[in-house]
Amino acid sequence: MKFADQTILVTGASRGIGAAIAQAFAAEGALVVVNYLRSEAAAMEVVKSCEALGGSAIAIRADVTSAEQVAAMMEQIANTTGRLDAVVNNAFAPYVFDTDNRQRFWETSWQGYQSQFDGAVGAAYNVCQAALPLMRSRTRGSIINLSSDLVARPSVPYHDYVTAKSALIGFSRSLAAELGPLGIRVNCVAPGLVYPTDASSATREDVRDFITAQTPLRRIAEPVDVAGPVMFLASEWSEFVTGQTLYVDGGLVMG
């Protein structure tokens, strides 16, 4: 099994894309840390599904925008497994992809931007800072940050969300340059619209149909479609890949 004996942290893993990623790692033998904020019951269901798939999992509650809570989570990981092989920063500030009711730029407060920055870049910063000692001790590790293809093709201008996800890519590239000599790789996965998820539940069917028609593979991603590319970037198959953004949107963005 590809990730046997490895410990993988997935933030925001109680549902949607995060749950699919956690389950995919577990199916390959990993011990998965299922981070969640409020949905304890859902997180425990993900843990059960991970175990049913042949891996092992623990659920840890932590607000990843809180450095103190992230540090406590990392201490628990260190005490439980003594290692951390990969981090998947999937959690983000609550957001709804609703083309009808989205805020236009002139309606978007700076606090709206700040909230998304805190949920994307701030959370990744906290997790990476706390994960670094465990990864440095083994001179290897992989960090995968979840961005969005909207940074390259803002077909719907979700201003605060897209700006924060763009900043996350810049953060990741700088981190890749800094941590490369330490044996730690940093990459981004940038999905397009993923359906169904809580965030995409308000996306109208005609909008989904329009995106499908524009996508070379002629469908919209499901959460499981994001898991494979994340696992590739966490695996030894990508050991000479860092500082990259992998678009996972059926070819909607090519670059």
**Which of the residues are catalytic?**
161
Give the 3-state secondary structure of residue 181.
helix
Residues making up the chain, counted from first to last: 255
Q: Which helix (H) or strand (E) holds 23?
A: helix 16-27
Tokens of 213: 């028609």
What stretches of the chain show up as alpha helix (H) in DSSP? 16-27, 40-52, 67-80, 110-117, 123-138, 159-179, 205-214, 223-234
**CA distance between the termini of the chain:** 32
Residue 60: Cβ within 10 Å count:
19
In the sheet with 184-191, reading across from the earlier edge strand, the strands are: 56-61, 31-36, 7-10, 86-89, 141-146, 184-191, 245-248
